[in-house]
Amino acid sequence: MDVLLKKILSYHFVFVVGFLPNPLFALETDKISLKAGYSRAIEDRSDTNGGSSDALDPGNDGFIINTTAMFNSQYSDYFDTYLDFAWLQYTDRKVIIPGLGIVHSAELEDSAIQPFIGAGVGYAFMYLDDSPSAKLDSIDRNGQSVVFTLQAGADIPLSESLSLDLTARYDMYNIDSSFLQDSGLTIVKDRGALSVLAGLSYHFDSPSRSNYVDEDFDGVTRNLDRCPDTLINVPVNEAGCPQYRFNINLSFNFAKFGIDDIVEHPDFNAAEFLKKNTQYSVRIIGYTDSKGSASFNEKLAKKRAIEAKQYFLDKGVSAERVAILGRGEREALRNSKGEDSDLANRRIKLEFYRTELGAE
């Protein structure tokens, strides 16, 4: 489906002047966007001449729906071209704006987020409410105007193909519409709209952009990540590889030492990490809360460590890479009383380290 969509949408737009053998402008589809948000009509007012005081309120608050197609030009490294369609809906009127313009996107060093600014021109068509409930006798109900658009925002990648698009735009136009109400003349003056939008963008093939995707969610983008398939929640260094030493604490329920539920926790699969990273070993340290006698807690802590080791052996991790230790209720994470503190203290600590470095 994804391949078919690209074949349908990723076509070239070529503008030819006269009978020149080569195109003057060659544009390739970069992305398409669909956004929606809040719009505020600005510098609007109603003037009445001899009419009643209940003249129609311009209704400045509304919403905007916007779709955009962005194109890369082979003749400019600084600007992209876009085609744009916006629908602004207010209480008593709507404004439809087709347009086109240029956008400059900045590539921040070591960041996947791309801020952008743009400017464009279009044409606005305004339509006042013509429902029977409006009770208006139209003189010049609908208006038209040239539009100048300024916009700024940021493109935040979610995957190689999708991104979150946040945009603020200002549309400047000049439309006067007039109508009769209660035998008085009302003139609605529209001078522009300020809108904030959010939506999704679909990106076509863009190798430079995909370099800034964080595929394994470790906080290091692809262009800097030397270990692009690190397991989730593994602490990494600046190169995106697992740190030489790191600890993981996993909690138990009271007086239980079953290991499967916590070692296979979806937030961190310890056995999978050891199988995937054979240069690492682990020391398993068992702990308990302060309930029960010290001797009972020492035995329970040791049981937890032993069962955790056996679990790793059953998963194919060699015995020489797994060490154990039981410390009972010592080295508590929390010294306060209460179930939350007890749960934090009932745990095993997995100390991962590069085998050649040895355990601390």
The predicted pLDDT at position 2 comes to 44
Tokens representing 21 are: 């053998």
Looking at beta carbons, which pairs linking 320-325 to residues 24 or more positions away fall under 8 Å? 320/281, 321/274, 321/280, 321/281, 321/282, 321/355, 322/281, 322/282, 322/283, 322/284, 323/281, 323/282, 323/283, 323/284, 323/359, 324/283, 324/284, 324/285, 324/286, 325/283, 325/284, 325/285, 325/286
The predicted pLDDT at position 252 comes to 61
Domains observed in the chain: 2-210 (2.40.160.20), 245-357 (3.30.1330.60)
pTM reported for the whole predicted model: 0.51
The 8-class DSSP code of residue 236 comes to: B
The predicted pLDDT at position 147 comes to 95
Contact 301, 327 (CB under 8 A): yes
Q: How would you label 238-261 residue by residue, b for 16+ Cβ within 10 Å and e otherwise?
A: eebbbeeeeebebebeeeebebee
The predicted pLDDT at position 33 comes to 94
C-alpha separations of 56 from 20, 87, 161, 301 in Å: 55, 22, 46, 77
Contact partners, residue 91, CB within 8 Å, separation at least 6: 57, 58, 59, 61, 62
pLDDT in tens, the chain (360 residues): 444 444 434 433 333 333 333 343 445 778 899 999 999 987 655 555 544 334 444 567 899 999 999 887 666 667 889 999 999 998 878 899 999 999 998 877 667 788 999 999 999 998 876 554 444 445 445 678 999 999 999 998 887 788 899 999 999 998 877 666 555 566 667 888 999 999 999 988 654 555 666 666 777 777 777 887 777 778 888 888 888 888 877 776 544 445 544 444 556 678 888 888 889 999 988 888 888 888 888 888 888 888 888 888 988 899 999 998 888 888 777 776 777 777 777 788 888 988 887 776
